[in-house]
Amino acid sequence: MILISHEQQLEDLKQRLKEVDDLERASAVLYWDMSTYMPPGGSAGRGQMLSTLSQVAHEKFTSAEIGKLLDTLQSYGEALPHDHDDAALLRVTRRNYDRRIKLPARFVGEVTEHVSHVYQLWTTARPANDWAKVRDPLKKTLELSRRGAEYFAPYDHIADPMIDMSDYGMKTADIRRVFGELREELVPLVKAITAQQPADDSALHRFFPEAAQIAFGEAVIRDMGYDFERGRQDKTAHPFMIRFNSGDIRILTRVDEHYFNDAFFSTVHEAGHAMYEQGINPAYDGTPLAEGTSAGVHESQSRTWENIVARSREFWQHYFPRLQQMFPDALGDVTMDTFHRAVNKVVPSLIRVDADEVTYNLHVMIRFDLEVALLEGALEIDDLPRAWDERYTHDLGITPPDYQHGVMQDVHWFSGTFGGAFQGYTLGNLLSAQFYEAALKAHPTIPAEIARGHFGTLHSWLKDNIYQYGSKLTAPELIQRVTGGGVEVAPLMRYLRTRFGELYSL
Ligand code: ZN
């Protein structure tokens, strides 16, 4: 019998994980190209390539060899200190492995096929306001979502397995409690703000030439700490961030020459995601530790830069004069105060992705509550449009005029299954405020530095306390370490009341 040392087994495991990672990152490059420069004719062939690569990566990752290595290395990992990189690697790989082998390939294929069919239907049904066309297919989506959850039984709540995939360690019950508390505080704040005259944001709708918009956005994120030696920005239809390896983390934006917010805030948002990924310990490259730890924590990093920093008065004190110089025709007669109020305009709307930061979470919580009710069987698809409209009327004070601006508004239920896709957005907003309070406690000078266009202290604090860990710490572990507790509502409410209290003299 040949004895193989733990070191050799661990090397073997890392080598195999690296191969899986290579395949997945190659898919990422193909996906990036598909979303940027690929001519329309490439689409069918590209879909086929991506499907082959993801199948090969899945087979490699769920191989018996990786399973065996995880089994034999289990006791070694458990004997290590919890904080040890190898222990974390073995825990996270085991978690991902178990999750992947529980779903039969045939079921995954059935879901993928059904979901892409529903998405195709939705793209034409939504503009035609044709709810009947997607209603029955959505019933099938719900049935598949429930069946998917069963592969992870036993669970405390049927939505838990889906939430676990994007926000590991969070349970439906905890999220419901936190969201319930947040909703109770937010609804009256929105009412108090909307009782006042809305901010004048007409300046944002003037003409902003594309090249100057891109130049300004890139100058700002360079100041913030996005490293262009290890990244680049390109244009796409729906902005996102994508990681190829620690030396190449890209962002994508879109430009509307008649609306300043679109490109600028999406550039800063995606740069927030990208700085998180650029800050992960490069030693984790090629392993499952080399990515953000959860949807909620990832979103907290984009929101920190997009909202807390780039919508602050201090930020525009520094950058508005430069912006005015770059766009003299659009902004020559606009004051900093008017501009600052405009980028913080609060107005209840029907479309989640266009929402301001006060009303945004209400959109998310409506979707979360409804999808949980669907999964529980407390709500039927036939009653979904009515339930949607009731919540909009109650929470935001506006009633959708049709399906297109109501139940068919948001892409998620028409491009995936029910459960797990929404909670991360609001968890991210809550966490961004909690983390920022912790950063301010350590470095009270951060706002004064932002007013001079200096972001080094904040960026370093985020790197030391959040970025570097990648997925080594779970979200609950990370939150505990940074804040000393769990997810909380109070910091976000303090932040919103301070910022919007000043803007709207509440
Ligand atoms: Zn995001």
The three state secondary structure string of 47-70 is HHHHHHHHHHHHHHHCCHHHHHHH
Separation of 241 CA from ligand 1 center, angstroms? 8
Separation of 293 CA from ligand 1 center, angstroms? 14
Contacts 24+ apart (CB under 8 A), 311-318: 311/343, 311/344, 311/357, 311/499, 312/447, 312/450, 312/499, 313/340, 313/502, 314/447, 314/448, 314/450, 314/451, 315/450, 315/451, 316/340, 316/343, 317/451, 318/450, 318/451, 318/452, 318/453
What digits encode the pLDDT tens for the residues 150-204?
Answer: 999 999 999 999 999 999 999 999 999 999 999 999 999 999 999 998 899 999 9
Q: Is the pLDDT of residue 271 over 70?
A: yes
Separation of 271 CA from ligand 1 center, angstroms? 10
Instruction: List, by residue number, the catalytic residues.
Output: 270
What digits encode the pLDDT tens for the residues 78-106?
Answer: 999 999 999 999 999 999 999 999 998 88
Separation of 270 CA from ligand 1 center, angstroms? 6
**More confident call, 214 vs 109:** 214
Report which of 183, 506, 181 is spatially closest to residue 346, judged by C-alpha positions.
Answer: 506
What is the pLDDT, as a whole number, of residue 105? 84
Separation of 304 CA from ligand 1 center, angstroms? 11
Separation of 238 CA from ligand 1 center, angstroms? 11
